[in-house]
Amino acid sequence: MIDLHTHSTFSDGELIPAELIRRMASRGNEGVAITDHADFSTIPMILSNLSKLKEFDFEIDFLIGVEITHVPPRLIGKAVELAWKEGAEIVIVHGETIVEPVAEGTNSLALEEEINILAHPGILTEEEAEKARENGIFLEISARKGHCLANGHVARMAEKFSCELVLNTDAHSPSDIIDDSIAGKIAKGAGIFDWEKVLENNVRLFRKLKR
C-alpha cells in the first residue's frame, strides 16, 4: 500500500516523520505522504521542516505535503497557492467529514483549486462529485474512525459520477497504520469490490507526484 494521507508531530500526529516512515515500511508498505494539518500560520514551518528529510535516503519513498484544515472556504485557494509555493509535493484539503464542524462550502470551493485529494468529504453532493471528476481530483475513502462513516456514500457518488478514489488512513498514531489486506476489507465494507483499482490509484498518483 501507498498511504497518501498521514500526520506527524508537526501537527497532531504521535510519530516524528522518520518513525512514521519506518513503521509504514515495517508493514510492507511501498510509500507514504506526510500531510500534516496546516493553515496560513503553519504551512511554511511544516514544509520547511519536512523538506529537510529530502536530503536523505529512507527505505521507502515519501512525499511531503499538507492537509489544508478548517481554513475558511473563501481562503482555501490562497492556502493551496501558499503550500505549492513553499514546496509541497502533495496538497490535500480536509473535507466536510460528518464528525467535525467543517465550514459548509469547503468541499465545493476546494474542488475548484489545484489540489490532489479531497479528504473524507462526508455527504458529498452530486455537484461536488461532478467537480471532482471534471478537475481530476481524487476523493478519499478513509480508514480513520469517524471519517469512515460516510465511506459508503462517497463510494456510491464516485461510481455514479465516475470519480477517481484513493484509500488512505489519515494516520495519527501507530495503531492507525494498515496494509493492503486491511485496506481491501475497508474498501469492500464501503461497497467497493474492485478494491485493487483503488489502491492502484494510490500508486499511480504517488508516482505522478514523485516525478
Annotate the chain with three-state secondary structure. CEEEEECCCCCCCCCCHHHHHHHHHHCCCCEEEEEEEECCCCHHHHHHHHHHHHHCCCCCEEEEEEEECCCCHHHHHHHHHHHHHCCCCEEEEECCCCCCCCCCCHHHHHCCCCCCEEECCCCCCHHHHHHHHHHCCEEEEECCCCHHHHHHHHHHHHHHHCCCEEEECCECCHHHCCCHHHHHHHHHHCCCCCHHHHHHHHHHHHHHHHC
What are 106-118's pLDDT values in tens digits?
999 999 999 999 9
Q: Give every residue of the chain whose pLDDT is below 70, as ranges.
A: none
Instruction: Domains for the chain: give ranges and CATH numbers.
Output: 2-210 (3.20.20.140)
Quote the pLDDT of residue 211: 77
pLDDT for 81:
98
